[in-house]
Amino acid sequence: METTETLFELPGYTINLTVVKNVEALITDPADEDKVPCWAEIWPAARGLSRWIWDNLHFGDEELLELGTGLGLPGIVCGLRGAKVTFSDFNPLALELASINAARNGLKDFQTFLGDWRNFKIDRQFGWVMGSDIFYDPKLNVHLLSVIRQVISKGGNLLMAHPGRPATFDFIKELCASAQTDQRDFMIPIIIDDPYFPYYEIHVHHIKFL
């Protein structure tokens, strides 16, 4: 796997990331969704969520689980804001790069967890759970509902970000219908280096379980 370096700019801070140089080279079977390397991209939702966290949150040594961590950008920002982060993904290469990126940006107190949402066997709960653009597939959302109920502690917080996906709104509606929550929604504009689709409006949802 060839890698290269990229920068992600935040107000007053620059995050240095090791990223996959050629994502398409990692595709071994395009017909198998598990083998499509979605984890190897820095998606617009991850950028928007990272910016919102940087501007709005400070964690006091609180424990946070990032689901579908990919290259680790939002989790790194949470770590820089004081959280004790557990990066989780079902792909070991994702966790390898997320660990490299966390360490090179100064995070020391972090962990990784290799787990598939369809059989997620972590034995801890977290005050914060986070996922960026992972709630897009109704087939997986069924499992994610169970995962979130399993891993979030009483009075915990869920952070979600996406570019306006209907399946994600449906997920939020179902999740909040089954628990007492306080939900706050935000919109973050993001511009990326893409000649065809440079502009995104990223929805950020902060859901607190009461």
Give a yes or no: residue 59 inside a domain: yes
The model's pLDDT over 64-107, given as tens digits with 9 standing for 90+, comes to 999 999 999 999 999 999 999 999 999 999 999 999 999 999 99
The dihedral sign for the CA sequence 36, 37, 38, 39: positive
Of 2, 133, 144, whose CA–CA distance to 69 is shortest? 133
Of 174, 132, 153, whose CA–CA distance to 44 is shortest? 132
Please give the pLDDT value at position 47: 98
| Total domains in the fold of the chain | 1
Please give the pLDDT value at position 38: 87
Give a yes or no: residue 33 inside a domain: no
Flag whether the pTM goes above 0.85: yes
Please give the pLDDT value at position 162: 98
Which range marks the domain in which residue 54 is found? 44-209
Give a yes or no: residue 93 inside a domain: yes
CATH code of the domain containing 168: 3.40.50.150
The model's pLDDT over 8-38, given as tens digits with 9 standing for 90+, comes to 999 999 999 999 998 888 777 777 787 778 8
Of 138, 96, 146, whose CA–CA distance to 116 is shortest? 146
Question: Residue 98: enclosing H or E segment and its boundaries?
Answer: helix 92-104
Beta strands in 42-191 (DSSP E): 63-66, 84-89, 110-114, 126-132, 152-162, 181-191
DSSP 38: G
Give a yes or no: residue 24 inside a domain: no
The dihedral sign for the CA sequence 105, 110, 114, 115: negative
The model's pLDDT over 117-144, given as tens digits with 9 standing for 90+, comes to 999 999 999 999 999 999 999 999 999 9
Q: What is the mean pLDDT of residues 179-186?
A: 97
Question: Cα(first)–Cα(last) distance of the chain, in Å?
Answer: 44
Give a yes or no: residue 66 inside a domain: yes
Give a yes or no: residue 7 inside a domain: no
Please give the pLDDT value at position 36: 74
Give a yes or no: residue 17 inside a domain: no
